[in-house]
Structure 1
Amino acid sequence: MALRVAVIGTGNMGIHHLRNYYHNPDVELVGFVEPNEKNAEKVKTKYPIEHFADYKKVLGKVDAVSIATPTCTHFEIASFFLSHQIHVLLEKPITDSIEEAEDLIEIAKQQNTLLSIGHIERFNPVIQELKNILKKESPVFVEIHRESPFDPRIYDVDVVSDLMIHDIDALYYILKRKLNIVSSTGIKVHSNKSDLVNVQLISDDNVLINITTSRATEQKIRSWRIILKDKLIEADLLERKLYLSSRTEVGKKIFDTNADHHYTQEQITAKILVKNDEPLQIEIDNFIQSILGNTILEVEGKDGLKALKLVKEIQQKIITV
């Protein structure tokens, strides 16, 4: 029997949720919620499903919902569905405040209902491969760039909540270490909130991390550069490319002995093949299969709360220049 699902909000992310549910064989897509009639008409031309102007109207018709609305509405909408034992996939950030996030987690626990948070980068095949590589060896330094052009539709959060939170969650997921803030600097470019932020973090075992996040860059960049003791990892999360450079045995000998190194290959770079799967499709499938009891939920409410706590700390410590 197919799981009955509705999508709440059909903006930039919501429309992609709709597409993935529409083609999922384990889902009956009941409909979508969109208060704006003009936007709803556009959606209905692509997906001939029922439209609801009020999210409360889907109650009794669904087993689960995806919520892709502005962050300021997350607590109200998610708490409504969780209280009625409807499973929720909630776009990041989990909520506006830590207190609201804690309340949502408690409601989900009391109602024995799944609450998953849309930290989509966990499902990026490049991040999955990085996690596998770094199980064997700890990095020394991590440099992350997440940059995009300005999008005026994102009006209720700064660049830390909007974009940097992806990398914060991915760092927790990969490194599994406590992260401490060294510095946090922001610049307002297009809005009255920080549009470009640079943060330096250090883990409890001295991994140095530098994150530059911008929504004022006229190019989309999603790059990680990881320095290990004798390796360099370069990752492009958009193009799904991953390269590993390491010193050859000859190179190690030259380094150790300071020998003559004419005409020797000291380093070698390997391209690591990664899958080209769509992260959102994997995320939604994990949510659905977790409800059906076929797998374990990958991103829980507690993960969203953990990322939100560091986001709030970074925001509090930002020095605006």
Structure 2
Amino acid sequence: MEPLKIAVIGVGHLGKEHARVLKSLENAYLAAIVDTNPEQGRIIQEKVEVPLYLDYKELPKDIQAVSIATPTIYHFEIAKYFLERDVHVMIEKPMTTNAQEARELVEIAQKRNLKIQVGHIERFNPALQGLLKYIENPRFIQAHRLSPYSFRSTDVSVIHDLMIHDIDIVLELAKSEVEEVEALGLPVLSSQEDLANVRLKFANGCIADITANRVGLKKMRQIRLFQKNAYLTLDYMTKRGRIFQLSPDFHPSKIKDISPPTNMEEINALVFGEFILMEELAWEGEEPLKAELQSFVEAILQDKEPKVPGQAGLRAIEIVEAIFESIQKNLWRKDIS
């Protein structure tokens, strides 16, 4: 099978990594890169040794797929251009600036039998992949995603920039429709929200609490899940987690027969030694971006649905819009505007 001929549109902070990875894939042929900044484009061109174009409309007609890593405001325009020319598209998150645009892209792709994959990269984190086998009908999900101010992605809010990763994951894990959305948001250094907290209530009873902050002191990428038989934690950055489960022979009546321990060390030894069993988890795996782009290429070559299809990107954007509606209704925001 011939390698997939692909181009990268936008080779800035994220796009340059797309070009690097695609250049290394055996079943992909990086045919070109595109960037409106000639200086940045030439820097990346020297590294990947492929033709550079300043206008995506000048790309060769035999390009089979593109990876779009431009600012979000250009995603729809570029993706629509290529879909209408029967070119498959990989779109960095967020998929588009609004649900109407995302819905139109999904419809075009469906009519023309094309693949859209959205860059929700945490789906390809080996730690999350490893944790999935332990997750069963979670009842409460808590996600925290913090980052120091990066001076990038200021054209979108922290909800589009960071929180959307966790929105996508929570929607995938809850496997139910969202019934209620409550949110707070606050701009700090930007004109749009730099921190936000969201509470989602699902039809199956699951509740998710999601916090994102891009003016933090340090990076944090964590998720916790509570379910009937276990409590699970995961740190995306260290790729480590824990699973807490009741001991098979535990019964609440046992607590009545035990004299209370006198110090914290004894308490922990009893609770997490006899009552609750704790297992340390750790995962290794390939670079998430490589796994993501490999998945996109394979979906095209093998004609199968992408792991994060356009419909998933659309659903995340729909929740983002509901979040903004809730933020607008909140008096806290009105008081500071």
Identity between Structure 1 and Structure 2 (%): 33
Q: CA offsets per residue over residues 33-65 of structure 1, 9 Å max, x none? A: 011011112212322111000001114141110
CA-based RMSD: 1.8
Cα contact 2:158–2:212 (8 A) shared by 1: yes
SS at 1:253 equivalent? coil
Aligned equivalents of 2:280, 2:64: Cα separation in 1: 43
Q: 2:251 maps to what in 1? A: 253
Q: Post-superposition shift, 1:182? A: 4.4
Q: Distance in 2 between matches of 1:71 and 1:39?
A: 19
Q: Measure the CA separation in 2 of the matches of 1:116 and 1:274.
A: 25
Cα contact 1:181–1:199 (8 A) shared by 2 = no
Pair 1:278 & 2:287 matched = yes
Q: Match of 1:57, as an amino acid?
A: E
Contact 1:127 1:170 survives alignment (8 Å) = no
What do the CA deviations read for 1:202-258 (whole angstroms, capped 9, x no partner)?
A: 2212222111101111211100112233522110011111111222245x2355662
Query: Quick check: 188-197 or 277-286, which moved more?
Result: 277-286
> For the residues of structure 2 that align with 1:235 and 1:8, how far apart are their CA atoms?
33
Distance 1:115 1:225, change over 3 A: same
Match for residue 103 of structure 2? 102
Map of 1:190-269 to 2, 5 A cutoff? 190-249=189-248, 252-255=250-253, 258-260=256-258, 264=270, 265=273, 266-269=275-278
- TM-score norm. by structure 2 comes to 0.89
Query: What SS does the corresponding residue of 1:10 show, helix, strand or coil?
Result: coil
Give distance in 1, aligned partners of 2:202 and 2:283. 27
Deviation at 1:162, TM superposition (A): 1.1
User: 1:303 maps to which residue?
Assistant: 312
Q: Does the 8 A contact of 1:146 with 1:223 survive in 2? A: yes
Deviation beyond 3 Å, 4+ runs, structure 1: 254-257, 261-264
Q: State the Cα distance separating 1:294 from its structure 2 match.
A: 6.2
What CA distance in whole angstroms lies between the structure 2 residues aligned with 1:79 and 1:46? 29
Stretch of structure 1 that moved more, 274-283 or 88-97 = 274-283
Once the two structures are superposed, what CA deviation does each residue of 1:8-47 show, in whole Å capped at 9, x if it has no partner? 0011211111111010011111110011011112212322
Listed as ranges, the gaps of 5+ residues in structure 2 are none
Report the Cα distance in structure 2 between the residues aligned to 1:17 and 1:312, rounded to whole angstroms: 28
Q: For residues 104-136 of structure 1, give each alpha carbon's deviation from its aligned partner in whole angstroms, at most 9, with x where no partner exists.
A: 1111122221111111111112222333222xx
Deviation at 1:192, TM superposition (A): 0.9
Alignment of 1:26-45 (within 5 A): 26-45=27-46
For each residue in 1:236-290, what CA deviation from the matched residue of structure 2 results, as whole angstroms up to 9, or x when unmatched? 011111111222245x235566221667422221112323322111111111111
How far apart, CA to CA, are the structure 2 residues paired with 1:255 and 1:297? 50
**Cα distance 1:111–1:182, how it changes in 2: closer, same or farther (>3 A)?**
closer
Alpha-carbon shift at residue 295 of structure 1 (Å) = 4.6
Moved more, 178-187 or 192-201: 178-187
How many pairs were matched up?
318
Q: State the AA in 2 paired with 1:215.
A: R
Q: Note if contact 2:196-2:212 (Cα within 8 Å) is conserved in structure 1.
A: yes
Alpha-carbon distance between aligned partners in 1 of 2:285 and 2:110, rounded to the nearest angstrom: 35
Q: CA deviation at 1:155?
A: 2.1
- How far is the alpha carbon of 1:175 from its aligned partner? 1.9
Q: Return closer, same or farther for 1:255/1:215 CA change in 2, 3 Å cut-off.
A: farther
